[in-house]
Amino acid sequence: MQSPREILAGIWTSVGGEERALDALTLTGAEPQLPSSFRVAAAAQVSIAASGLAAAGIWKMRTGQAQQVAVDMRHAAIECRSERYLRVDDKPPPPAWDAIAGVYEVSDGFVRLHTNFPHHRDAVCRVLNCPPEREAVQAALLQWQGAAFETAAYADGGVVAFMRSHDEWSATPHAKALAGLPLISITKIGEAAPKPWLAGDRPLAGIRVLDLSRVIAGPVAGRTLAAHGADVLLISGPKLPAIPWLTIDTGRGKLTSFVELGSEEGRAILLGLLAEADIFSQGYRPRALAALGFAPEDAARINPGIVYVTLSAYGHAGPWAERRGFDSLVQTTTGFNHAEGKAAGIDGPKELPAQMLDHATGYFMAFGAMMAKARQAREGGSWHVQVSLAQTGRWLWNLGRVAGGLDTRDITGEAVMPFMEQVDSGFGALRSVRHSAVLSKTPAFWARPAMPLGSHPPQWPSR
């Protein structure tokens, strides 16, 4: 198997990074760190190191100063589970899942339901014609075959997953379509003059990032860009459901505003913000923003020189390109839960010990955004960065397996404390995981506290 440094070198050079930049990188720690048969700790370290190395590269472009980048594997693994270690006024997270979310039997296997948002829960209950109670849901699902229920639930607006083995997933038309895509796609979508860097004492000082994302991957990307000095403005809708604990954890470093995109006034506000942005990062359902006039090509016309970052669940090619999805569902669909269950000797699905597809994809989003921004500064143009949970999953699968990895002791309690920091926030005293990419000249930190959604006006701070 490749070492983490070798894995990172492949990703770094695949998007135009100079190989000599890797000389500034120090990776410490060894696998395994978390109980899994997959290389989740290596994935955490590599994805975070990629983003840190990109920030250091931008700093060198701006100032001519090189700096060292170090990432410890244990710290990275902990950061990729940051939501579970968060404490607000010393209180732990509430239960993470809705009452009927989780795994159920069907007539030919298992399905996983994601019902944390009310409209997704309602869709499942409509398809099953049952109340939102676990016993009723299980009784109804036993009358279904998994793939048929999956298709019906998606058609009605739900988000579920039929558990497949990796071989079964690989045989699907969609998996075959994804096999030809890179882990991170960066393509030119318009002409524009290079934008000069602004003065500042951090790699992304003066860089404006519009963050239109929820849950984990997209918000982690915005949090990472903020850690290196970007002005990140999180845009949410006043009526959109949210998961409060994740909002707190991933809101560090950001401004946050409500904009109603269903109204002409809201779209006009977003248009004005986009016209002055440097990076537009979004995780909306495919084509949702395009229908409102904010597709990548629209953004490049509105603001030549923009870096537009798109997150999707299942990638931008193939018959499932339009499907909604979350980390837990993509794990189930693509074979991880089946393989982890087999490795653990159980008859049924077993989750990875972290939402690793989400977190790693978030760091790859930030990495791709910075690499595209650096390219824009060198040669001009508008750029589109595309990542997906499924492509990150394909990458993680291909890293190989860890023999006996499930016997690893989990990281809990006192073992986590060296990697935590405490700050005030709009929610109370926050104890949270520090960023694990350590840059020698421009340390990563969040200059703004996490705040409740909608706390700020929808406008950019002065530069």
Q: Is 2 exposed, middle or buried (0-12, 13-18, 19+ CB in 10 A)?
A: middle
Which tens digits make up the pLDDT trace of 339-376?
999 999 999 999 999 999 999 999 999 999 999 999 99
For residue 382, what is the enclosing H or E element? Answer: strand 382-388
Q: Which two tokens stand for residue 239?
A: 């009526």
Q: Would you say 322 and 333 are in contact if contact means Cβ atoms under 8 Å apart?
A: no
Nearest to 450 by CA among 168, 277, 223: 223
Q: What is the pLDDT of residue 463?
A: 85
pLDDT at residue 170 above 80? yes
Return d(Cα 301, Cα 309) in angstroms, integer. 15
pLDDT of residue 217: 97
Is the pLDDT at 288 greater than 90, yes or no? Answer: no
Closest CA to 315 of 132, 176, 207: 176
- The arithmetic mean of pLDDT across residues 54-74, rounded, is 98
Where does the pLDDT of residue 242 fall: very low under 50, low under 70, confident under 90, or very high at 90 and above? confident
pLDDT tens by residue, 80-102: 999 999 999 999 988 878 899 99
Residue 148 CB contacts under 8 Å (≥ 6 apart), including other chains = none
Residue 379 pLDDT: 97
Q: What is the average pLDDT across 109-113? A: 97
What is d(CA 262, CA 266) in angstroms, rounded to the nearest whole number?
7
The structure's pTM equals 0.97
Identify which of 156, 135, 153, 133 has the alpha carbon closest to the alpha carbon of residue 145: 153
pLDDT of amino acid 394: 98
Share of the chain above pLDDT 70, in %: 100
- What's the mean pLDDT when you consider all of the chain? 96
**Predicted confidence band of residue 322 (pLDDT cuts 50, 70, 90):** confident
Task: Report whether pLDDT(453) > 90.
Answer: yes
pLDDT tens across 252-287, in order?
999 999 999 999 999 999 999 999 999 999 998 778
For residue 35, cis peptide bond before it (omega within 30 degrees of 0) = no
Supply 40's token pair.
Answer: 């989740």
What would the pLDDT profile of 183-200 be if each residue is shown by its tens digit?
Answer: 999 999 999 999 999 999
Give mean pLDDT, residues 382-401: 98
